[in-house]
Structures are given as structure tokens and as C-alpha cells.
Amino acid sequence: MTELNFEKHFQDKVDAEIKIEPKDWMPDAYRKTLIRQISQHAHSEVVGMLPEGNWISRAPSLRRKLILLAKIQDEAGHGLYLYSAAETLGISREELVEQLLSGKAKYSSIFNYPTLTWADIGAIGWLVDGAAIMNQVMLTRASYGPYARAMVRICKEESFHQRQGYEIMLTLAKGSAAQQHMAQDALNRWWWPSLMMFGPKDDDSAHSQQSMKWKIKRKSNDELRQQFVDVTVQQAEVLGLAIPDPDLKWNEERGHYDFGEINWDEFWNVVKGNGPCNKQRLDARIKAHEDGAWVREAAMAYAEKKEQRKLMESAKAEAA
């Protein structure tokens, strides 16, 4: 087959909803796009543990603390599933980590915002995990097998994340005036960054069209964002909290909520590294990686020593 035939055969498979697997032929750009997207996703899961980790030791009850720990542990698992999926494309874990630590690879900008109060943990579960779920449910149908399978596993674990966050918000919203204020303040700060999680507008999204053709994505950024707004408005009503957008209004004709313009300057600014916590997050990852180096080395040395010992013992047994 010629390159062109390979390409056509590949696209036919994608169109026929046949999953692409690691050893199948795939266009170089498809492989690159996947590595970029999956690793970015993996980094987001890992960096995403930092803002929440900030509150483990200060959770208001043992119940909340256990839940938060379990949730954050899940996120570590999500990072692992995704790194593994990326590795099937021929990039090593070390390269992936290196790209994150050197700042070459991006992660979701949402995690560059600080968690100032306990209500932020509620808002993150409710809004940030909620937005992530919207994206991830779509990705369970991605054309690349290992990515889609990782997403299925992630989505199963993800639904408790949103509920535990919403429950925190619910408790605060039904609490004292100070607690209600705290909940509203968290919603005010997290609402817009959550909408930004879906990425630039379709017209400004460089990779969107090709990704849709390859069925890596099946919905555009704007479609997903709209879907998120539509379901979240009612959830805010139940909480009795106000979404901080004066332009938010039901549009009978469209059958969707209209909402205000996102501050794209802020979005690009945070992407470029100038968000409130970009430096802090990266420094924390670098420190964790460096502090853990001796553990990784020691574990490897110990494994090698054990292997040696086993070999020697079996040689002795044979000689006897």
C-alpha cells in the first residue's frame, strides 16, 4: 500500500467506528495530536491534585477529609491511566514527565487558580469536575482504543467527585450567613475559569476540526461549553446561589441559555504562564519529582538485588 492508501484505510476505519489500536498504522499527525492531548490531560490530573491537596489537613470533618483523600487519590490514578495510554503511542513516561516539568507541555489552566477557602473544594468538585466529566464522557468514544478505555474507567470514578463537591456547596448554602457567603464567593471565582476549561471558541481553536474528523473529539468546545451551562444553571438554583453573569438568560428560540462573553485575555494570559499559581504549581511538581528521585533509585536497586539473590539461590539449588 502507498502512504495515501494507508491514510484512506485509516480514515475508513475511523469513519466505520473501528477503534485504532497501538500497533495499527496511523498518520503521524494523529499520533502527535494524541500524544499532546493525552499527556496534557494526564498532567492536568496530576497538577489538579495540588489545589485540593491544600485542604486535606484542614477539611472541616473526618468524613470530609476521607472523601477528599479518596477523590485526590482517584485523580492520581487518572493521571496514571492517561500516561499509560500516551505511552502506547511510543513516548516514554520520562519524556512525558520531563515535558511537564520543563514547561513545554501544558495542563489545564484551571489549576493555576488558588483554593482560598473550604468552599473552593466544593466549587471545584461541582464545577471543575463537572466540566471535566462533560469532556470526558465525549472522549469515551474517542477513536484511539487505549484513550477511550482509559476514559471509561475515569468516568466511572468521576461521578462521585462532582457529587461530593456539590454536597459541600449544598451544606454551605444551607448554612449560616457566613457559610452562604463563602459558597457564593467560591462560585463567583470559579464560574468563569470553569467555562474557560472547554478551551478557545470554535473559530479560534486550531486543532478542533481535524480532531473531529479523526473522531478524537466528537463535540466542539462551544457545544460542550453550552451543554455545561445548560445543566449547571439549574444546579445553582437548587443551591440558591447566583451565577455571576448578568447576561445569563434562557433563550426560548435556541433552547439554550445565552451567556456573557468570556474574558479571553485572562484565558490566554493564564495559558501563557501568568496565572495566579502557575509558578507555584510547577515548582511543587518539580520539588516532588526531585525529592522522590532517591526512592525511585532505591526501589530499582533493591529489585535488582533481589533478582540477583534469586538467581544465585536457584544456581545453588541446581548445583546441589
Residues that bind another protein (CB under 8 A): 21, 23-25, 70, 73-74, 76-77, 80-81, 84, 87, 92-94, 149-150, 153, 157, 293, 296-297, 299-300, 302-304, 306-307
Q: What is the spatial distance between Cα 309 and Cα 237, in angstroms, rounded to a whole number? A: 65
Closest distance between Fe ion and the C-beta of residue 167, in Å?
A: 14
Q: Tell me whether residue 14 or residue 127 sits nearer to Fe ion (CB atom).
A: 127
Interaction partner, residue 250 (Fe ion, another protein, none; CB < 5-8 Å by kind): none
Query: Smallest distance from the beta carbon of 88 to another protein, in angstroms?
Result: 8
Which residues is 184 bridged to in the sheet?
none
**Rounded to the nearest 5 degrees, what angle is found at the Cα of 78, between the Cα atoms of 77 and 80?**
65
Q: Give the closest residue to 141 by CA, choosing from 217, 77, 211, 79.
A: 217
Could you say which of another protein, Fe ion, none residue 297 binds, taking C-beta under 5 to 8 angstroms by partner kind? another protein
With CA atoms as reference, report the closest residue to 22 among 80, 82, 89, 93.
89
Q: Which is nearer to another protein, 52 or 87 (CB)?
A: 87
The binder of 93, among another protein, Fe ion, none, by C-beta within 5 to 8 A per type, is another protein
Backbone angles phi, psi at 113, to 5 degrees: -100, 145
- Smallest CA-to-CA distance from 39 within 51, 47, 27 is with 47
C-beta closer to Fe ion: residue 14 or 195? 195
**Greatest Cα pair distance in the chain:** 87
3-state DSSP of 138-194: HHCCCCEHHHHHHHHHHHHHHHHHHHHHHHHHHHHHCCCHHHHHHHHHHHHHHHHHH
120 binds Fe ion (CB under 5 A): no
Residue 20 or 68 with smaller CB distance to Fe ion: 68
CB of 213: closest distance to Fe ion in angstroms? 27
> In the complex, what is the shortest distance from the CB of residue 150 to Fe ion, in angstroms, rounded to a whole number?
11
Q: Which does 92 bind (CB under 5 to 8 A by kind): another protein, Fe ion, none?
A: another protein
**Whose Cβ is closer to another protein: residue 17's or residue 94's?**
94
